């Protein structure tokens, strides 16, 4: 159409008439071309969800000894979500901090790795309907509880964990020295406490109890008196992916109602139902 502006003077009127006719005929197509596809449309077209998880967080996301198959509480919850949405699940294994960045930049569709719902995170992400409720505990050395009686005693202690986790935020709040690992295994975290390289691991009750049980040879225990920060966990999605969140929430709520997630919880949390809300005195 730019050629009209370079046409000879005698042809301008005819060109404008033709342009008018073409515009009238093209209104419907132009409107259609302006319709944008959503992330949910793309996901449905591709037939799959890309999911960030660590692969090293027992029993949420891990591999059983001698197996290459990824499993765990949230891994299986996500697989059940995919089945109900008729989508394949493609897992990408990342460190905790990388997961949130990848969701934010659209490299993955969601993240599932025992990520607690907080007000700060809700400003930047969409969380699904919660499907796991818990509270914070502390792993310490058995012989002296790492010299910790209350959260105030964390001051000056070496606390191990992911730098952006809510538990590390608690450690910093009480003056602990943070020791950060890059997607390390549970055994590394636990052994370092046992040998005194670090003093404490603040984390979720269910994860802590099972981690302790997995390594009975280590001289560590869950602190008998520290219970704090009731928590809710859901999968994490990009702030703009509202339609994806609606569909994920729909099937999560179905699975909470029919007991599917409770059954998965029992499998990975030694019979416990982590979908039940907890009430603790802080």
Domain assignment present for residue 208? The answer is yes
The three-class DSSP label of residue 250 is: helix
Task: List Cβ neighbours of 38 (8 Å cut-off, separation of 6 or more).
Answer: 241, 243
Domain assignment present for residue 29? The answer is no
Cα 245 → chain centroid: 13
The torsion angles phi and psi of 214, rounded to 5 degrees, stand at: -75, -20
Tell whether 146 and 217 lie within a shared domain.
yes
The whole-number pLDDT of residue 31 equals 44
Tell whether 65 and 145 lie within a shared domain.
no
Domain assignment present for residue 113? The answer is yes
CATH number for the domain spanning 163: value is: 3.40.190.10
Give which of 252, 238, 253 is closest to 39, Cα–Cα.
238
Tell me how far apart the alpha carbons of residues 277 and 259 are, in angstroms, rounded to a whole number.
Answer: 15
Tell whether 152 and 197 lie within a shared domain.
yes
Domain assignment present for residue 27? The answer is no
The whole-number pLDDT of residue 12 equals 36
Give which of 186, 185, 191 is closest to 218, Cα–Cα.
191
Task: Read off the pTM.
Answer: 0.74
Tell whether 207 and 263 lie within a shared domain.
no
Tell whether 125 and 239 lie within a shared domain.
yes
Domain assignment present for residue 109? The answer is yes
The three-class DSSP label of residue 18 is: helix
The three-class DSSP label of residue 69 is: coil
Tell whether 188 and 54 lie within a shared domain.
no
* Tally of domains in the chain: 2
Tell me how far apart the alpha carbons of residues 214 and 268 are, in angstroms, rounded to a whole number.
Answer: 12
Q: Dump pLDDT digits (tens) for 112-156.
A: 999 999 999 999 999 999 999 999 999 999 999 999 999 999 999
Tell whether 120 and 243 lie within a shared domain.
yes
Pairing assessment for the beta strands 70-71 and 88-93 based on DSSP bridges: unpaired
Tell whether 139 and 226 lie within a shared domain.
yes
Tell whether 105 and 238 lie within a shared domain.
yes
Tell whether 140 and 224 lie within a shared domain.
yes
| Domain closes at, from 183, 204, 230 | 230
Tell whether 241 and 152 lie within a shared domain.
no
Domain assignment present for residue 122? The answer is yes
Site of tokens 């890309």 = 50
Tell whether 138 and 213 lie within a shared domain.
yes
The whole-number pLDDT of residue 36 equals 64
The whole-number pLDDT of residue 281 equals 65
Domain assignment present for residue 2? The answer is no
The whole-number pLDDT of residue 154 equals 98
Range of the domain at 187: 133-230
Residues of the chain scoring pLDDT < 50: 1-34
Contact 92, 114 (CB under 8 A): no
Tell me how far apart the alpha carbons of residues 177 and 169 are, in angstroms, rounded to a whole number.
Answer: 11
């Amino acid at each position: 159409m730019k050629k009209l502006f370079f046409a000879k003077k005698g042809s301008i009127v005819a060109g404008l008439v033709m342009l008018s006719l073409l515009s009238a005929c093209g209104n419907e197509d132009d409107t259609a071309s302006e319709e944008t596809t959503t992330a949910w449309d793309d996901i449905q077209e591709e037939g799959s969800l890309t999911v960030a998880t660590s692969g090293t967080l027992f029993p949420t996301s891990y591999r059983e000894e001698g197996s290459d198959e990824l499993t765990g509480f949230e891994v299986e919850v996500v697989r059940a979500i995919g089945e109900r949405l008729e989508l394949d699940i493609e897992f990408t294994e990342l460190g905790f901090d990388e997961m949130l960045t990848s969701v934010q930049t659209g490299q993955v569709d969601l993240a599932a790795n025992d990520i607690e719902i907080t007000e700060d995170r809700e400003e930047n992400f969409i969380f699904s309907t919660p499907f796991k409720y818990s509270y914070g505990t502390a792993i310490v050395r058995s012989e002296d509880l790492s010299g910790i009686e209350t959260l105030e005693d964390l001051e000056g202690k070496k606390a191990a964990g992911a730098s952006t986790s809510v538990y590390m935020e608690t450690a910093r709040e009480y003056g602990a020295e943070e020791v950060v690992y890059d997607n390390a295994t549970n055994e590394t975290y636990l052994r370092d406490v046992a040998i005194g390289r670090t003093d404490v691991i603040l984390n979720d009750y269910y994860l802590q109890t099972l981690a302790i049980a997995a390594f009975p040879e280590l001289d560590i225990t869950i602190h008998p008196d520290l219970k704090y920060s009731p928590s809710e966990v859901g999968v994490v999605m990009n702030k703009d992916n509202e339609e994806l969140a609606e569909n994920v929430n729909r099937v999560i709520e179905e699975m909470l109602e029919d007991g599917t997630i409770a059954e998965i919880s029992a499998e990975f949390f030694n019979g416990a139902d982590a979908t039940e809300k907890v009430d603790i005195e802080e």
